[in-house]
Amino acid sequence: MRSRFLSVLAASVVIACSSSESGDAAPDSLAVAQPDSTAPIASPSGFTAPEAVRYDPDQDVYFVSNWGTGDGEATDNNGFISRMTPDGTVAQLRFIAGGAGGATLHSPRGMTIAGDTLWVVDADAVRAFDRRTGAPRGTINFSAFKLGFLNDIAPGPDGLYVTDTGTDHIYRISAGRATVALNDTTLGDPNGITWDAGNSRFIVVPYGGGSTIRAWAPGTKTLTEIGRSGGRKFDGVEVLSGGRVLVASQGDSSLHLFSDGTGRPIIKTGGNPADIAVDTQRNRVAVPFISRNLVEIWALP
């Protein structure tokens, strides 16, 4: 299994983009501008603490990670991943489930796709699954580290990168093992992370570090401010066309669009948005809500 897993990682680690969540606390009261969109296209329910969504353009489906019942940080092997169609139909509620088919999943969080592998952040590890069949492909062990809250994942030019919201760390996965890529309090409890291919950098958003989003180039120790908005408690992040950046803000229950260094709310959601995913074929965004057990699908303005 190890040799097969390493070959999968080497062949597939430079594709796709990603994003994630830390807490689902009540939103703060903030004065914000009027959003552009006022109602979701669909609000599929039946999930159990859905934390993240990832769109697979090749299969034209969403993957939805569910913590399952119990504490979101428990290692109880009752988490699962659903498959959802673009219109919000839940095609397979338990496509991958902890304790079934050899899979281990405690409280799955951020996800990304590299080649035919779906990479999933879990409470104590990062796990790999076949994105078509759901079969387990391997596990990256994080037992050597004192973890806070492993959260989101994104592929870069030289590996997969994972945020730890509780310890201000970004980890790099390469050759089947995890190492520390960056530890900096400026990260502000890093939550969502995504690769900005147009500028050869990661964009990292803070859950606890104010209203600033930052860029970071792998291999460096420098974080660069690239935008501010009225939002706070940032979660999922996606890069859109034209270098624009879409970020979920739990501070005002909105999705903020950043352009030319300034962010503004464009979608007012019905709760605390977690790790979002963009349907690139229809220009839509799927937004999970942990405490509401549902996902909202919105048209992007």
d(CA 118, CA 158): 17
Secondary structure string (H, E, C) spanning 8-76: HHHHHCCCCCCCCCCCCCCCCCCCCCCCCECCCCECCECCCCEEEEEEECCCCEEEEEECCCCCCCCCC
Q: How would residue 70 be classed by pLDDT, with cut points 50, 70 and 90? A: confident
d(CA 63, CA 80): 10
Q: How would residue 33 be classed by pLDDT, with cut points 50, 70 and 90? A: very low
pLDDT tens, position by position, 244-298: 999 999 999 999 999 999 999 999 999 999 999 999 999 999 999 999 999 999 9
Of 5-9, 31-35, 137-141, 223-227, where does mean pLDDT reach its minimum? Answer: 5-9
Output the CA–CA distances (angstroms, integers) from residue 6 to 125, 219, 226, in the order listed.
16, 22, 35
Question: Which domains can be identified in the chain, with CATH numbers?
Answer: 2-299 (2.120.10.30)
Closest by CA to 266, choosing from 16, 34, 48, 2, is 34
Q: Which residues contact 75 (CB under 8 A, 6 or more apart)?
A: 106, 123, 124
Residue range 214-239: mean pLDDT, rounded: 97
Question: What pLDDT was estimated at residue 77?
Answer: 97
pLDDT tens, position by position, 194-222: 999 999 999 999 999 899 999 999 999 99
Q: Which residues contact 69 (CB under 8 A, 6 or more apart)?
A: 48, 49, 78
Task: Report the percent of the chain where pLDDT is more than 90.
Answer: 85
Question: What pLDDT was estimated at residue 23?
Answer: 42
Output the CA–CA distances (angstroms, integers) from residue 59 to 86, 113, 133, 147, in the order listed.
10, 12, 12, 34
Q: How would residue 36 be classed by pLDDT, with cut points 50, 70 and 90? A: low
Residue range 81-85: mean pLDDT, rounded: 98
Q: How would residue 71 be classed by pLDDT, with cut points 50, 70 and 90? A: confident
